[in-house]
């Protein structure tokens, strides 16, 4: 098959991705992530994953998409905006913006399945799998390779167009396509994210110690939050957006247009007192299909209790 056919296929996929609501789409060759292997190994050896033991599993699969999808040729990376039009009141316990609406795993996965079905209908028998932060895939590394942005000093993917408030997803497929090239780093001498991190989790530019991150403490950690971190959480009860909020590139964030990401009005308007008094029944109503369900009612109460002690 000649190169123009690969180009036509690639263009077709990117056009459909935009139709489905993705902000952008890039493609890279499905191959071993040689550059990332030693970094991941060092990060794990230094225990920066804390109690996220699942990060130790499937080391080879994290680095080699052909072990996830047999015969895969291409990784199609996609970005889906979640920046909200309205945010919580300032004097409240804070929920990370990505969790305002319905759980992104389901919302974005559904769109990925539609994209894969479209590829199969238009191009023929194509095998592949859809991933949204739910399998051993280094999504930021693939998005970077696909030219969708660069990895910032806070280890998030950044773009000039809209900053970093978006989900990253992939289709790994056994289809030859035209591959995009990475973009250059535009962090320059800026250290806003490093300076602002409340728990000093960004231990050096481009390296985040996950075991010190507020998101880790409020979502992943099942035990008590270490007392040494008292008075550092800045009212974050689920996740943390500080390193993104201070990033100059996020001045360009635009509100998403996804109805399923619209939050319950109570999430936006509750005072600290109302969060403290929240019942399990109301928790289930507000966060019915939300990613906040990951920490469960007891987890959110633990986090709020920790904040109250500050």
Question: Can you read off the two tokens belonging to residue 50?
Answer: 């804390």
Instruction: Return the pLDDT at 309.
Output: 79
Question: Can you read off the two tokens belonging to residue 77?
Answer: 């990376």
* Phi, psi dihedrals of residue 212, rounded to the nearest 5°: -115, 0
Report the C-alpha gap between 279 and 259 in whole angstroms: 26
Instruction: Return the pLDDT at 34.
Output: 84
* Residue 133 among the catalytic residues: yes
Whether 28 contacts 170, CB under 8 Å: no
Whether 281 contacts 193, CB under 8 Å: no
Closest alpha carbon to 95 in 304, 250, 282, 285: 304
Report the C-alpha gap between 134 and 169 in whole angstroms: 10
Closest alpha carbon to 145 in 30, 4, 7: 30
Whether 29 contacts 86, CB under 8 Å: no
Residues 6+ apart with CB under 8 A from 132: 104, 105, 108, 109, 112, 167, 169
CA torsion through residues 198, 199, 202, 203, sign? positive
Segment holding 168, helix H or strand E: strand 166-173
Structure confidence by residue, pLDDT tens digits, 118-132? 999 999 999 999 999
Segment holding 286, helix H or strand E: helix 280-286
Closest alpha carbon to 135 in 68, 52, 38, 72: 68
Per-residue H/E/C for 87-134: CCCCCCCEECHHHCCCCHHHHHHHHHHHHHHHHHHHHCCCCEEEECCC
* Phi, psi dihedrals of residue 253, rounded to the nearest 5°: -60, 140
Report the C-alpha gap between 246 and 238 in whole angstroms: 18
Which residues on adjacent β-strands are paired with residue 76? 27, 171
* pLDDT < 70 positions in the chain: 1-3, 52-59, 310
Question: Can you read off the two tokens belonging to residue 46?
Answer: 């230094």
Residue in 2, 103, 110, 133 annotated catalytic: 133
Whether 229 contacts 217, CB under 8 Å: yes
Instruction: Return the pLDDT at 2.
Output: 58
Helix axes 104-123, 3-19, angle to 10 degrees: 140
Count the neighbouring beta carbons within 10 Å of the beta carbon of residue 59: 14
Structure confidence by residue, pLDDT tens digits, 275-288? 999 999 999 999 99
Instruction: Return the pLDDT at 32.
Output: 86
């Amino acid at each position: 098959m000649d190169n123009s056919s690969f180009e036509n296929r690639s263009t077709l996929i990117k056009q459909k991705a935009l139709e489905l609501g993705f902000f952008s789409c890039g493609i890279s060759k499905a191959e071993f992530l040689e550059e990332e292997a030693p970094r991941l190994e060092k990060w794990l050896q230094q225990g920066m994953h804390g109690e996220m033991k699942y990060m130790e599993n499937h080391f080879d699969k994290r680095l080699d998409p052909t072990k996830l999808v047999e015969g895969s040729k291409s990784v199609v990376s996609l970005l889906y905006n979640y920046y909200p039009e309205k945010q919580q009141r300032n004097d409240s316990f804070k929920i990370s913006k990505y969790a305002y609406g319905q759980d992104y795993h389901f919302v974005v996965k559904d769109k990925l399945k539609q994209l894969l079905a479209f590829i199969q209908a238009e191009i023929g028998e194509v095998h592949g799998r859809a991933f949204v932060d739910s399998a051993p895939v280094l999504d930021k590394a693939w998005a970077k390779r696909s030219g969708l942005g660069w990895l910032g000093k806070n280890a998030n993917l950044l773009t000039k167009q809209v900053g970093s408030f978006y989900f990253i997803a992939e289709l790994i497929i056994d289809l030859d396509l035209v591959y995009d090239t990475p973009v250059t780093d535009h962090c320059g001498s800026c250290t806003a994210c490093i300076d602002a991190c409340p728990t000093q989790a960004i231990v050096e530019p481009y390296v985040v110690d996950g075991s010190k991150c507020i998101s880790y403490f409020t979502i992943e950690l099942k035990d008590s939050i270490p007392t040494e971190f008292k008075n550092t959480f800045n009212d974050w009860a689920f996740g943390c957006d500080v390193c993104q909020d201070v990033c100059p590139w996020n001045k360009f964030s635009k509100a998403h247009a996804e109805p399923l990401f619209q939050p319950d009005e109570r999430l936006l308007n509750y005072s600290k007192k109302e969060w403290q008094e929240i019942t399990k029944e109301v928790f289930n109503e507000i966060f019915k299909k939300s990613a906040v369900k990951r920490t469960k009612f007891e987890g959110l109460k633990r986090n709020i209790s920790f904040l109250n002690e500050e």
